[in-house]
């Protein structure tokens, strides 16, 4: 299912790029009104598209929906000039959007609340992680004898997640990642079997470090790292 989501996002991204190129071409040769360029090549439209791609390609649908709403809110005056409103509304709308995102985000506070109050540098005991960095970041070390994946989110911020002291539980487990104008670094043991399906959009992703030979990796447990990176970066390091 996740592979199909990323395929749909790649297809949508290709269609958008072709469409943007055609609009630019037709506007330059006089076949389209130049005003269309000010709609398509504007930050509200780009934000709307980022939200749409995020909504289609990851489980972070809350961010995607809010990005579409904020982008659409500021896109409407460009399409309908009579709807013009003051751009001083931008920051209040963004703050409200971020607050709503945090409220509706599906977090099991009972399991994750201690993470916010953990003293700096202290290992966190958790079989699943749910880390979020917005306009900030941090470094966290997790310890688990039965690690089962989780979520990592970075929006205008960054996270450094150390899983090198964790043992992967038997079976297949998913670590869902998302970065928009931010990034994350995740450290994992060398002997983990890893399958990566991360979609970078105007961003980057890399996997570094030596790993054990394929034959030496446990066959009964696998970590699937999935997600989307938009105008940001993601990196997995084996240590």
pLDDT value at 161 more than 50 = yes
pLDDT at 156: 82
Residues 218-229 pLDDT 10s: 778 899 998 888
Confidence band for 119, pLDDT divided at 50, 70 and 90 = very low
Average pLDDT score over the chain: 78
Percent of the chain with pLDDT over 90: 10
pLDDT at 215: 62
Residues 136-149 pLDDT 10s: 777 889 998 999 99
Average the pLDDT over 178-195 and give the result. Answer: 88
Q: Using alpha carbons, list the distances in angstroms from residue 36 to 22, 67, 185, 194, 210.
A: 12, 21, 39, 45, 50
Lowest mean pLDDT among 14-18, 23-27, 199-203, 210-214: 210-214
Neighbours of 210 (CB within 10 A): 7
């Amino acid at each position: 299912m996740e592979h199909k989501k990323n395929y749909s996002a790649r297809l949508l991204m290709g269609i958008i790029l072709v469409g943007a190129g055609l609009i630019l071409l037709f506007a330059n040769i006089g076949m389209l009104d130049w005003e269309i360029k000010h709609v398509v090549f504007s930050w509200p439209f780009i934000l709307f598209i980022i939200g749409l791609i995020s909504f289609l390609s990851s489980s972070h649908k809350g961010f995607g929906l809010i990005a579409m709403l904020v982008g659409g809110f500021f896109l409407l005056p460009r399409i309908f000039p009579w709807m013009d409103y003051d751009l001083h509304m931008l920051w209040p709308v963004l703050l409200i959007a971020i607050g709503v995102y945090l409220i509706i985000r599906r977090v099991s506070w009972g399991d994750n609340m201690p993470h916010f109050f953990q003293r700096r540098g202290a290992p966190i005991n958790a079989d699943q992680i749910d880390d979020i960095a917005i306009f900030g970041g941090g470094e966290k070390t997790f310890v688990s004898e039965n690690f089962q994946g989780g979520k990592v989110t970075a929006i205008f911020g960054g996270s450094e997640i150390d899983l090198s002291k964790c043992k992967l539980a038997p079976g297949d487990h998913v670590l869902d990642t998302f970065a928009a104008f931010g990034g994350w670094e995740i450290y994992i043991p060398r002997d983990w079997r890893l399958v990566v399906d991360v979609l970078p959009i105007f961003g980057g992703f890399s996997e570094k470090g030596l790993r054990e030979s394929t034959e030496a990796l446990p066959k009964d447990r696998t970590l699937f790292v999935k997600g989307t990176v938009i105008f940001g970066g993601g990196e997995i390091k084996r240590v």
